[in-house]
Amino acid sequence: MTAPLIGTRVGRVDGRFKVTGEATYTADHTAAGMAHGYLVLASVGGGELLSMDTAAAEAAPGVLAVYSPFNPLKLQSIKTTPDLSFVGQFWLPLQDTTIRHYGQIIGLVVAESYEEARYAASLVTATYEERTPKTDLKAGIPRAVAPPIPVNYEEPELNLLADGVGSVEEALAASEVRVAADYSQPVDTPTAIEPHAVLATWEGGVLTLQVGTQSAVGSAMTTAEALGIDVFQVRVVSPVVGGAFGGKMYLFGHPLLTAVAARELNRPIKTVLTQEQVFTVTGHRSGVAQRIELGASREGVLNAVKHDAWSGFSASGVLFESAAHTTSRVLYKSPNIHVGQKIVPLDLPPTTWVRAPGEQPGSFALESAMDELAVELGIDPIELRMRNYADTMPGREVPWSSKHLDECYRIGAERFGWADRAERPGTQADGDWLVGQGMAGTVYPGNLLPTTVAVVTLRPDGGATVSSATADPGTGMLTVLAMVCAQELGIPLDRVTPLLGDSVLPLNFGAFGSMGTASTASAVAQAAFVARAELIRLAVSDERSPFHGLDPETVEYQEGRLSAPGGRQADFGELLTLLESAGVDGTGASAPGAEKLRYAIHSFGAHFCEVRVHRFTRETRVSRWTSVIDAGQIINEVTARGQIVGGVLFGLGQALLEDARPEAGTGRFANANLADYLLPVHADMPDFDVHFLRHPDTSFNQIGARGIGEIGAVGSAAAIANAVYHATGVRVRDLPITVDKLL
Ligand code: MOS
């Protein structure tokens, strides 16, 4: 028997390809006769563009064209609802003269070289009628409005009240103990290491876009719509993606302009954004302000949870942080729960998806507030959580498909050594470092993508190809494809060729919402099953086959080999060669079914962290970390661990470092570069202890896996803030926790 692969540790199949520099990213590509695009961006934060002087740029060496709203590249408006299109913003660049935010696209210069395009762009001048942009979230709260679209498919405001209770306020007032606090966090950005870039090539009326994206199919659909061409005239190729985290979910404006310019000029064009341009041409996570009030008995049993969130919402964007919904709706049992979500319209670049949109800020507030309640009651934070353990999802009264959060708390506490934690804050030190430990829970919904298709092809050379139009932005999806295919076919991993990142491959919307593995792995498993059946069908029906004429039921497939009574056997490669077959295909699909009606489906986990805060400088360092994750079947422990560590580092960045600051008056991000926008680096990383529970969730899908891309980012900022409180006795509710807040 071939040893099972699923659940083991498998190095990335593309690891060598990537670390040796063999992998080429979008900006590395060239095409014969290629020209270069460079964007011109608005230098004011709002108002109207009155005029642009492009004469000097047009006369500059190497320049082929200068496009602007006064000499536009025509794009069709996107008719699908903005949250379903993959452009990431309501408006398309150069189609009007409105300035919606600082750094929006107002021009595209195309020249023979990148340097010529960039130089010419610097010669373009513009005049504006300026309007002062609104960029301050907290100042905008009085202007907050209900979101224009549902929040997680639910009403923006949700009240679950016990019989006879008139309001959550009434329930709070009747509670023996109450805590109430305001929490906030600033804008943060996806900051993938590969800047956004695109290479557009037309050939025979077909556009090929090379672009790093989480969704080749979504990008192709949106491009076709914006260009007014058929979707079959667009191919989006994205085999490697240098990080995404939500920021490459959508195309934004520059690929569309580049595509149209390439058609107009009849040249392939490559446009590469500078890091600073990435901050304003693409999207960010909005700042979020939240207020939580908890009411409980003296024994720590919750009677009321009131969670309100105010999220920034860009006048350009299509997404906002639905901060209160997943966390306060799901994590704890309480007879009275109110969640409210408002948005604050701001004149900033598009608000978009960033790892765990909604759950990340929501969990920071809720899991901080639970820690505050534990302190108030003098109850251990884990014990408090267990006293409010939810066995059914509040307000739905359906069981979870699979929930083992209690085990996460227990195993995490053991692995971390939670029992050795000092009872009182500010009482542990190691030399000049104050030491503290904190924990928080984490949760993320288990969802499946819309129809996901995979094809497994058995080849005459004895290998197999597995293909699906998904993406691998560092998640390990390519390896997962190969592993599931190899296991289901019972052949060694190195005989499988996985293909993804191309919109012409079998339909798959890609890597987002922690849905990729659950959706794609199930489709691959089914495709392999179908391919095996198809092989047997061929084996019994072709006259040249040693199995010809047999009842297919008597032919067995095992580990790449067919056998039948009477000692007849053949490897599939031998058989396909003998039959002169080009290969045998099996197609598999997965799609959401009725599982959500019968179950609540979420992944859960617990984070434990130790911090050291310097007694004098107040520098905070995370020194130890344990995460225990209940996400169903874990397909590859190596890449799964990478996902959790990466997610936790997003939380670490939010807790201690990240803060994209719009300048008052201009809306310009003052730190729009990787030197001033602080991110966690290797030196900020503790040794991570990541443990997976591995209870397969087969009520959710065939493979039993839920997603893990985002759950690490949920709860981790709260675990750090709680540990900082434990180290210092100072509760910081406004992220990031910088030294000034600990003085
Ligand atoms: Mo994620 S924010 O769904 O890429």
User: 245 CB less than 6 Å from ligand 1?
Assistant: yes
Whether the per-residue pLDDT at 83 is higher than 60: the answer is no
CA of 64 to the centre of ligand 1 (A): 37
Whether the per-residue pLDDT at 41 is higher than 90: the answer is yes
Q: Which atom of ligand 1 is nearest to the CA of 353?
A: 2
Delimit the domains of the chain by residue range.
15-21+448-591, 31-131+192-244+248-281, 157-187+285-447+597-742
Query: What is the CATH topology of the domain spanning 31-131+192-244+248-281?
Result: Aldehyde Oxidoreductase; domain 4 (3.30.365)
CA distance linking residue 579 with residue 567, whole number of Å:
19
Please give the pLDDT value at position 90: 84
Please give the pLDDT value at position 592: 93
Please give the pLDDT value at position 427: 96
Give DSSP secondary structure letters for 466-484.
EE-S---SSSSHHHHHHHH
Specify whether the backbone of 245 is left (phi greater than 0), alpha (psi in -120 to 50) or beta. left
User: 357 CB less than 6 Å from ligand 1?
Assistant: yes
- Pick one of 3.30.365.10, 2.60.120.650, 2.40.128.20, 3.40.50.2000 as the CATH number of 15-21+448-591: 3.30.365.10
Whether the per-residue pLDDT at 1 is higher than 60: the answer is no
Mutate-to-test residue for ligand 1 from 188, 353, 477, highest number of ligand atoms within 8 A of CB: 353
Please give the pLDDT value at position 80: 62
Q: Are strands 206-211 and 234-237 parallel, antiparallel or unpaired?
A: parallel
Q: What integer is the mean pLDDT of 201-206?
A: 96
Active-site residue set: 710
Please give the pLDDT value at position 302: 98
Nearest to residue 323, comparing CAs of 372, 284, 287?
287
CA of 569 to the centre of ligand 1 (A): 47
User: 650 CB less than 6 Å from ligand 1?
Assistant: no
Whether the per-residue pLDDT at 82 is higher than 60: the answer is no
CA of 130 to the centre of ligand 1 (A): 34
Whether the per-residue pLDDT at 565 is higher than 70: the answer is yes
Please give the pLDDT value at position 394: 87
User: 246 CB less than 6 Å from ligand 1?
Assistant: yes
Q: What integer is the mean pLDDT of 101-119?
A: 98
**Is residue 154 very low, low, confident or very high in pLDDT (cuts 50, 70, 90)?**
low
CA of 214 to the centre of ligand 1 (A): 9
Number of H helices, E strands in the chain: 17, 27
Q: Which atom of ligand 1 is nearest to the CA of 709?
A: 1
Whether the per-residue pLDDT at 153 is higher than 60: the answer is no
Beta-carbon count within 10 A of 730 CB: 16
Domains 15-21+448-591 and 31-131+192-244+248-281 share a fold: yes
pLDDT tens, residue by residue, 19-31: 999 999 999 999 9
User: 604 CB less than 6 Å from ligand 1?
Assistant: no
User: 513 CB less than 6 Å from ligand 1?
Assistant: yes
ipTM computed for the complex:
0.97
CA of 245 to the centre of ligand 1 (A): 5
Whether the per-residue pLDDT at 157 is higher than 90: the answer is no
DSSP label at residue 296: E
145-to-136, 148, 184, 246, 645 alpha-carbon distances in Å: 15, 9, 18, 25, 36
Please give the pLDDT value at position 503: 98
Q: Which residues neighbour 662 within 8 Å (Cβ) at sequence distance 6 or greater? A: 102, 133, 135, 136, 187, 348, 668, 669, 670
Q: What integer is the mean pLDDT of 75-86?
A: 74
Please give the pLDDT value at position 232: 94
Please name the helix (run of DSSP H) or strand (run of DSSP E) that holds residue 653, with its range, or none: helix 637-656
The CATH code belonging to domain 157-187+285-447+597-742 is 3.30.365.10
Percentage, residues of the chain above pLDDT 70: 98
Whether the per-residue pLDDT at 267 is higher than 90: the answer is yes
Please give the pLDDT value at position 327: 85
Q: What integer is the mean pLDDT of 30-54?
A: 98
User: 444 CB less than 6 Å from ligand 1?
Assistant: no
Average pLDDT, the chain: 95
